[in-house]
Amino acid sequence: MRPFFVLLTLCFSLPVIAATPIGSEKTDTILMSADPLDSSDIFRLAEIELSLSELDQNLNNMMNLWYVQDSTSTDSALTEIPSVDVETFVPQFEDSVYIARIAALCSPIQLTYNNVVRNLIDRYTLRIRDKLEVMLGLSEYYFPMIEEILDEYGLPLELKYVAVIESALNPRVVSRAGATGMWQFMLGTARLNKLEVTTFVDERRDPVKSTRAGAMYLKDLYKIYGNWHLAIAAYNCGPGNVNKAIRRAGGGIKDFWDIYPYLPRETRAYVPAYIAAMYSMTYYKEHNLTPVYINIPPVSDSIMINQDLNLLQVSEVMNIPIEELRSINPQYRRDIIPGSSKLYPLRVPTQMATQFIALSDSIFNYKKDEYLSHAYRSRTPAGVTRSVTNIAGKEKINHRIATGETLGVIAQKYKVRVSDLQAWNGLSGTRIRAGRTLAVYVQPSGKAAALKTAASSTEKVEPLKEGEYLIYQVRSGDSVWKIARDYGVSENEVLQWNNLQRSSKLSVGQRLKIKKG
């Protein structure tokens, strides 16, 4: 099968579809002083700390991302707080300042200020400053895409902070319970929201598709409760647990703080952490915080793949770091794109898209047996002869394979299918060698025309004579395409001069003939 490409430019920019804004929840910011909560056991700050273990795990996983490590290894922003003048470098404010700033946010989602929220603001702006600065850098990449999708579904744009407390904007994070991706979907919930999860593909890790699923789920939860605090809490622990907390609180109560003591422990920290994250990522400058620039390609192109492909094939042929490919294709769990089953997108940096198409044959054939050793290709068991079918009434032609020919080229010459060539010749794959003979079966009435077409389309290459070529010794990182480019010749010419196929593997030290210009 020849590769089929559809090129789509992706800037995490999506068309906006008009939608009816959700709900009539009042938009007043609820401001509560810290004092009334001091005497209540349900707001013990120690309990909140115990509830943050999952958030801490996601933050730690975020710091282990390749592009985060690559961006922060030499970044001056991730330095320790100076030992002098700490109060000036890390300012702290009175409650009245926090109340005024939160009121200024004017969010359609109720924003409460109390000791719990204050404690979590301190956590973001004091205790995990370095991690917040990384999240600020990631937000510059992911927030525009998230806001486009939330707007498309008619949802408050402030819901983007749910992704912050869910995953710290890490599309590859997996929780202890198995929740996966930026929006932390469990397997069952993911499939209910039409995300594909298979051995090779996990769309929970796809930032765009998972954000769409997250938006739909939040929209459904708001329809149930008519209250964003409860919808956000239900996103964390499920509507069943929220409904149970409402019943235990006396029924009919629909306020997060009223049902707070009856919620699962981790959910008690969830809404306060959401408010604290919104505050901290809005007013980071006032806390002397600086976003860390994250080195992710800001614009990528999607190339639709219709053959099985391993990201390592792309990485090694095109000299793109494998971790960079994984960072923009996080949905492929084992680096394999199972394109033979259906079309899947491969994202590459925009400047590399044209090069990928030019090198497609070399990429798909590079170390194919090594990197695509999964069970997608059919194999004939040892000692079993594959039956030859579809030859009744046809005449046989013995085709001698020319240098540079592939099964696809030969099939096109004789107007037959690649699968027929494989069946007629007992081939389990597509690798063939120049000089060998293939059996081809055609209708008797079309034999003469097939032979004429095949003969006229076969290029004759004169053998190189002494003095007509120079010798090039292969070095580490070389490819046929790179060598051809350096000498101003075509890839096919290099293959023909050296009796190589596109699937041939170059070895360091190997000597290649290059015809003199």
The DSSP annotation for 316-353 comes to HHHT--HHHHHHH-TTBTTSEEETTTS-EEEEEEGGGH
Does residue 3 form part of some domain? yes
Residue 296: CB atoms within 10 Å: 21
- The reply to whether 158 and 282 lie within a common domain is yes
CA distance 314 to 363: 6
pLDDT at position 286, please?
94
How many alpha carbons fall within 13 Å on the CB side of residue 186? 8
Catalytic residue among 54, 133, 147, 166: 166
In sequence order, which residues have a C-beta less than 8 Å from that of residue 141 and are 6 or more positions away?
12, 294, 296, 298
Predicted confidence at residue 41, as pLDDT, reads 39
Domain's final residue, options 342, 377, 412: 377
Q: For residues 270 and 233, is the Cβ–Cβ distance under 8 A?
A: yes
Distance CA 420, CA 438 (A): 11
CA distance 113 to 28: 13
Do residue 283 and residue 420 come from a single domain? Answer: no
120 plus 261 within the same structural domain = yes
Longest dimension (CA), the chain: 97
In a domain, 385, yes or no: no
Same-domain status, 210 and 343: no
C-alpha span between 183 and 204 (Å, rounded): 8
Do 500 and 440 belong together in one domain? no
Q: What are phi and psi of 332, to 5 degrees?
A: -95, 105
CATH code for the domain in which residue 102 is found: 1.10.530.10
Torsional sign, CA 215, 299, 333, 200: positive
| Nearest Cα residue to 323 out of 304, 346, 296 | 296
pLDDT value of residue 430: 67
234 in a structural domain: yes
Could you give the residue ranges of the DSSP H alpha helices within 20-114? 45-50, 53-63, 66-72, 86-89, 95-104
Point out the domain boundary residue: 241, 264, 287: 287
Q: Are 375 and 325 in contact (CB under 8 A)?
A: no
Closest CA to 108 of 5, 24, 164, 15: 24
Q: Are residues 35 and 119 in the same domain?
A: yes
Do 135 and 275 belong to one domain? yes
pLDDT at 77: 40
384 lies in a domain? no
pLDDT reported for residue 65: 60
Q: Which phi and psi (to 5°) does residue 505 adopt?
A: -95, 130
In a domain, 510, yes or no: yes
In tens, the pLDDT along 44-91 reads 444 454 455 556 666 666 555 645 555 554 444 443 444 434 445 778
Q: Which domain range does residue 207 map to?
A: 31-287
Distance, CA of 61 to CA of 59 (rounded, Å): 5
Looking at residue 263, its pLDDT comes to 92
pLDDT of residue 24: 41
Mean pLDDT per 10-residue segment, the chain (517 residues):
50 37 43 41 45 60 56 45 50 91 91 91 90 90 93 96 92 86 91 91 94 95 94 93 92 84 89 95 94 74 90 92 88 92 89 88 88 59 48 82 73 79 74 77 79 58 54 76 74 82 73 77
Would 387 be classed as within a structural domain? no
Asked about 87 being catalytic, the answer comes back as no
Residues 123 and 153 in one domain: yes
CA distance linking residue 356 with residue 318, whole number of Å: 7
Domain co-membership, 303 together with 277 = no
**Tokens standing for 20?**
């009816």
| Residue in 299, 282, 300 with CA at minimum distance from that of residue 291 | 282
- The reply to whether 6 and 63 lie within a common domain is no
- Please say which residue of 456, 478, 504 terminates a domain: 456
Is residue 177 in a domain? yes
The CB density around residue 407, as the number of other CB atoms within 10 Å, is: 22
pLDDT of residue 301: 82
Indicate the number of domains in the chain: 4
- 288, 18, 307, 315: which is closest to 136 by C-alpha? 288
Which three-class secondary structure state does DSSP give residue 301?
A: strand
Residue 35 sits in the same domain as residue 123: yes
Q: Please state, as a whole number, how many other Cβ atoms lie within 10 Å of the Cβ of residue 425.
A: 17
Polymer length of the chain: 517
pTM over 0.75: no
pLDDT, tens only, 456-507: 554 443 444 445 777 777 776 678 877 876 676 777 788 888 888 766 777 7
CATH of the domain at 497: 3.10.350.10
**Residues 119/275, Cβ–Cβ less than 8 Å:** no
The pLDDT score that the predictor gives to residue 345 is: 92
Task: Provide the CA 408 distance to its chain's centre, in angstroms.
Answer: 31
Residues 442 and 486 in one domain: no
Give a yes or no: residue 383 inside a domain. Answer: no
